[in-house]
Structure 1
Amino acid sequence: EGLKNTEIADRLGIKRTTAGIWRSRFAGHRVDGLLDEPRPGRPRTITDGRVEEVIVKTLESTPKDATHWSTRSMAREVGLPQSARARGRAVRG
């Protein structure tokens, strides 16, 4: 909409260079250019659907015996690994 990279960066709380990269990707590939690119390393072992399930459950419910979900109680509820390291590997790969 005619904004400069500095203005975009200020509005979004990001660096000017990041705004420039996103703008360039959008100019070259439209919305597809803004999609997350594959990252190096081991692929994730958890699907986007599982991630969405955890997010929705976290936002829309509470555990029976607590006021909010802990990472361990949520992992137990949805059948994900309970150790922090294992959860990280499942999500990031």
Structure 2
Amino acid sequence: MQPSDTEIAEILDVGRNTIWRIKKRYREEGLQSALTDKPRPGQPKKYTDRHEAEVIAQACTKSPDGSKRWSLTLLTEEMRKKKG
């Protein structure tokens, strides 16, 4: 027996409307469309994919001495140092 939308939503910890919307997109547009987010309206991105990758790469390195992990403040300071 196939699980209900409510059961799927509970398992994935999302709302039933999310399940309904994804299933509808799958039926109307296919699997690839259902698995990816559509572009959303709003302000354009401020940073390029390359900039995002640099920040992620930095966040994956060892945090500075005296810090257990990277904070947004520490990452910002470090990225500013690198950019001069």
TM-score, with structure 1 as normaliser: 0.64
CA separation of 1:67 and 1:50: change in aligned 2, threshold 3 A = same
Q: Secondary structure of the equivalent of 1:66?
A: coil
- 2:69 and 2:53 map into 1 onto residues whose CA distance is 18
Q: 1:78 aligns to what?
A: 79
CA separation of 1:49 and 1:3: change in aligned 2, threshold 3 A = farther
CA separation of 1:12 and 1:52: change in aligned 2, threshold 3 A = farther
Count of residue pairs brought into register by the alignment = 78
CA separation of 1:58 and 1:43: change in aligned 2, threshold 3 A = same
RMSD between superposed Cα atoms in Å: 2.1
- 1:43 and 1:54 map into 2 onto residues whose CA distance is 19
Question: Unaligned regions of 5+ residues in structure 1, if any?
Answer: 80-93
Q: 1:91 aligns to what?
A: none
Which structure exhibits the higher relative contact order, with contacts defined as CA atoms closer than 8 Å and separated by 6 or more residues?
1
On the 8 A contact 1:25/1:34 being kept in 2, the answer is: no
Q: Higher Cα Rg: structure 1 or 2?
A: 2
On the 8 A contact 2:26/2:34 being kept in 1, the answer is: yes
TM-score, with structure 2 as normaliser: 0.70
Matched residues, percent identical? 31
